[in-house]
A and B are shown apart, each in its own frame.
Chain A
Amino acid sequence: MTDMNDRPTDLALRYVEGELDAQELARFEKAHLSDPELRAEVDAARQVIRGLKSMGEEDLRGRLREADAELSSRAKTALLRSRNPWWRWAAAAVLVLGAGLWWTQRDTPQRLAAEFALEERGLPVLMGADSRMDEIMNAYKQGDLATTEQLIEQARATSPGNDTLAYFAGMVAMRQGLHTLAVKELVQVDASSVFAERAGYQLAIASLNRGDVTAARILLDALTQSRDPQLAVRARDLLDRL
Chain B
Amino acid sequence: MVFSFRIAQTADHAWYRALYVEHRAAFVNWAVKHFDAREEEARDAFQEAVIVLHRKVGEGGLDDLKCSLRTYLFAVGRNQLLSRMRVVNRQVEIDEAFHGIPDECLVTKDMDEQERQATAELVRQRLSELKPDDRRVLELYYLEGREMDAVAEVMGLKNRNVAKKKKHFALQRLIALVRPAKLLKV
Contact = CB atoms under 8 A, between A and B. Distances in A.
Interface string B100-122: 00000000000000001101101
Contacts of A13: 168, 171-172, 175
Interface of A: 1-2, 4, 6, 9-10, 13-14, 17, 40, 43-45, 47-61, 63-68, 71, 124, 126, 128-129, 194, 225, 227, 229, 232
B178 interface: yes
Interface stretch (B15-23, B30-38, B71-79, B81-89): B15-23
Contact of A4 (B11, B50, B169): B169
Contacts of A227: 7, 10-12, 15
* From B117, B122, B179, residue with most partner A Cβ within 10 Å: B179
Given A51-B120, A225-B7, A67 B174 contact: no
Contacts, number: 139
Contacts of B55: 53, 57
Nearest to A62: B13
Contacts of B99: none
A60 B11 contact: no
B186 A61 contact: no
B183 interface: yes
19 contacts: A6-B172, A9-B175, A40-B185, A43-B186, A47-B183, A50-B116, A51-B178, A52-B123, A52-B138, A52-B143, A55-B142, A56-B142, A56-B145, A60-B50, A63-B14, A64-B47, A68-B24, A129-B158, A229-B15
A56 B175 contact: no
Contacts of B3: 225
Nearest to A2: B176
A43 B172 contact: no
- Which of A13, A43, A126, A229 gathers most chain B CB within 10 Å? A229
Interchain residue pairs A-B with the least CB separation, the first 3: A51-B123, A52-B142, A54-B120
A126 B158 contact: yes
B9 to A, nearest CB: 9
B185 A60 contact: no
Given A52-B138, A194-B149, A232 B171 contact: no
B160 to A, nearest CB: 10
Contacts of A44: 175, 178-179, 184, 186
A63 B17 contact: yes
A66 B18 CA distance: 12
Contacts of B4: 225
A66 B176 CA distance: 35
A60 B171 contact: no
B77 to A, nearest CB: 12
A128 to B, nearest CB: 5
Given A60-B16, A68-B43, A2 B145 contact: no
Given A44-B186, A47-B119, A52-B138, A61 B47 contact: yes
Contacts of A40: 184-186
A15 B171 CA distance: 13
A60 B183 contact: no
Nearest to B58: A53
A57 B176 CA distance: 23
A229 B18 contact: yes
Given A52-B138, A55-B120, A126-B158, A232 B184 contact: no
A49 B178 contact: no
Contacts of A43: 184-186
Contacts of A124: 153, 156
A50 B119 contact: yes
A52 B142 CA distance: 6
B158 A128 contact: yes
Given A40-B186, A44-B179, A65-B47, A2 B173 contact: yes
A94 to B, nearest CB: 27
A61 B54 CA distance: 11
Contacts of A58: 120
